[in-house]
Structure 1
Amino acid sequence: MKIWVDADAIPAVIKDIICRAAERKQIETIFVANQFIRTPPSKVIRSLQVSSGFDVADDEIVKRVEPLDLVITSDIPLADEVITKGGQVLSSRGELMTKENIKQRLNIRDFMDTMRASGEQSGGPPPMNQADRQQFANHLDRILAKVK
């Protein structure tokens, strides 16, 4: 199992949680972004910088992910592709995305895109709070506890 992080917009506090968990469990973790991402000195944590462009980092993750790998992203279309390939997905807010809920999330995302395109203001997601951080850490721990 590897952990792939869609790192273009990962909150710093979540990045820290991921790095601590990767070190503790000695799981290879790759932060993928179209810009340089600083990672702590580690034999299991690294960054992968891809070229700029729409969905380039997402495409690289999809190309490299293997069944049972964990991808950390809040990008719904990326999550759908990862799940289709047999990977696991956890959002930076600690929401597990699965075969059972990803299609509904895609439908909601598409609906919201349509609303925004018509001029409706949605305001975006609320700021990340302590409960979000705790939910993320708890789900990550549960997933990693299953790794031998």
Structure 2
Amino acid sequence: MILVDADACPVKPEITEVAIRRNMQAIFVAGSFLRLTTHPLIKLYVAGEGFDAADDAIAEVARPGTVTVTADILLAERVIKAGGAALDPRGREFTERSIGETVATRDLMAELRPGMEGMTGGQGGGQRPFGPRDRAAFKNALDRILTRIARG
């Protein structure tokens, strides 16, 4: 099963394509209604707009054999602790080995950000624009993880 932190997910079409091709259920979890492809394998779960409602819903069902697509590092950490796999929309897999360092870096950047605004004129660099290469990298990574899970 593929679980998707769907509100700001840029790869919904790619997830849908992979899920249908592999005959695998994909559950898109969001704070409010989203328009998705109509297909028996594609489901929407509206968790509500409460703080972390979608994250909590995903973490509750994540387990070995599930893949969660999220850019949220703290959700990825919860999924990994539950035994699931986690992947960001650019195709980077979060692992037990990498998640601790990733969370630490996120926390450090959150602490540094307020003090850095004056030095950058209030403009953050951010990530590069999301493009076709990112979509291809994501689909390849998702296929690789699903194949690994299927093999046990």
- Counterpart of 1:26 (choices 23, 45, 52) is 23
Secondary structure class of the residue paired with 2:89: coil
Counterpart of 1:5? Answer: 4
Give distance in 2, aligned partners of 1:126 and 1:140. Answer: 21
Deviation, structure 1 residue 135: 1.0
Counterpart of 1:131? Answer: 133
**More displaced 10-residue stretch of structure 1: 46-55 or 121-130:** 121-130
Secondary structure class of the residue paired with 2:96: coil
Deviations 1:8-40 (A, max 9, x none): 1011xx111110111111111100010111121
Deviations 1:99-120 (A, max 9, x none): 0100111011001111123353
Matched, 1:141 2:140: no
Identity over aligned pairs, percent: 40
Aligned residue identity for 2:137:
Q
Counterpart of 1:91? Answer: 88
TM-score normalized by the length of structure 1: 0.92
- Counterpart of 1:72 (choices 69, 73, 83) is 69
Matched, 1:36 2:33: yes
Counterpart of 1:102? Answer: 99
Aligned residues: CA RMSD? 1.4
- Counterpart of 1:49 (choices 46, 50, 68) is 46
Give distance in 1, aligned partners of 2:79 and 2:142. Answer: 17
Aligned residue identity for 1:6:
D
Secondary structure class of the residue paired with 1:48: strand
Counterpart of 2:120? Answer: none
**More displaced 10-residue stretch of structure 1: 137-146 or 96-105:** 137-146
**More displaced 10-residue stretch of structure 1: 112-121 or 75-84:** 112-121
Aligned residue identity for 1:127:
P
- Higher Rg: 2
Counterpart of 1:114? Answer: 111
Aligned residue identity for 1:108:
T
Matched, 1:15 2:1: no
Deviations 1:17-66 (A, max 9, x none): 11011111111110001011112111111100111122110011001112
Counterpart of 2:58? Answer: 61
